[in-house]
Structure 1
């Protein structure tokens, strides 16, 4: 059985709030609310003018983006401890992607109104939050640069590493199909399947009884 983290610990793990004091985290806790959504529920829609931060307490979601021609790209999966929507608290701009549940999911929600109330009560917290946001944007710049220069294998390896979390000393990804990985790296399912097959033959990866991918050892630098 999973242990659901309390709100204070959840906020403390978000870069935007990681430098806040315990009394400030306590105040945030009083402003947040929890909601449970069934599978295939759309939490936010790309282009929508909504302004709430969400923290995943339990469950799984996927992040999707569509271009002007309606082509959809799978950007990422979100699991327990992940978060989304934090930028809307600061800039008030439309959502840049759609987030949808993959299974029944429990979320912690902080609305823009609650965030504004927090800032009014603790104006000194704004500077450390802006510092954390700048760090997050630098990481995003590095990611964009890497994706523009990596080949298909490099992008697949990056997805595996970014999705993997340590469990009992082993790196394990959420359950992902080859088609889902292909959508995340902008390649064909056949190409991804060939790469994954080679990685299995090289004993770099395996799967467990939950059909999750296990990273057995450091992935090769090239394929």
Structure 2
């Protein structure tokens, strides 16, 4: 059990709660249950009938599901500060995907009714939630467009660019660690071998430098972005 005072500090990292007063955060913390999970624990599973929303105060979550073929499909990775489970909390439908911890993770959860009341009472949180949901729609729309219009190599490049933009170490360089090629393969619906071949081509073109288990050094983010832009257009 985490005291409300401590809970309010932990909840301050949640993006949709940015700008709330300490007292408001304390009220939210009082409505939360707290759970510390180890790596690779399922938090919710596809088609579960639960409806709580979860706030990631420490650690990270992977959102995924398994196709009928048995292949894993990764939808996205959520870091500290993000939320998940909000769709079922809002519409009451079954879970649309599985959420699993990527590392030791501290979650705060809130029942659907309490979450909905929170949105009604705090317009600032409701507005942040609207922006969060529209951001999800835009991200998924972009991925659908890429799957429909880009070649496999281009999809790998686009995914690598997304990772690079979140791991910049200078205005034109990024260092992504760790890089698990099977994860990238599952994000773009291909094989690990295909990802390795594309990485080899990008290495020859001096766009990236693979450093084994340490990660991938993107040497020229601007050039990678230009390659993606040329095939994706202004979408």
Same fold (TM over 0.5): yes
1:221 equivalent in alignment to 2:224: no
SS of equivalent to 2:185: helix
CA distance in 1, matches of 2:143, 2:26: 33
User: Per-residue CA shift, 1:121-179, capped at 9, x if unaligned?
Assistant: x1645762564233542343233223321211221122223334236545333423222
CA distance in 1, matches of 2:108, 2:209: 33
Q: Which has the higher contact order (CA 8 A, sep 6+)?
A: 1
Query: Where do residues 33-182 of structure 1 align in structure 2 (5 Å cutoff)?
Result: 33-119=33-119, 122=121, 124=123, 128-129=127-128, 131-132=130-131, 133-164=133-164, 165-166=166-167, 168-169=169-170, 171-182=174-185
Structure 1 stretches lacking a partner, 5+ long = none
Structure 2 stretches lacking a partner, 5+ long = 1-7
Task: Look up the match of 1:199.
Answer: 202
> TM-score scaled to structure 1, two decimals?
0.77
CA distance in 2, matches of 1:26, 1:188: 46
User: Per-residue CA shift, 1:178-208, capped at 9, x if unaligned?
Assistant: 2221121111222110111122233322356
User: Per-residue CA shift, 1:51-75, capped at 9, x if unaligned?
Assistant: 2222333334332212345443233
> TM-score scaled to structure 2, two decimals?
0.74
CA contact (8 A) 1:172 1:212 kept: yes
Report the count of equivalent residues. Answer: 214
Aligned pair in 2 of structure 1 residues 123, 158: CA closer, same or farther (>3 Å)?
Answer: same
Q: CA RMSD in A?
A: 3.1
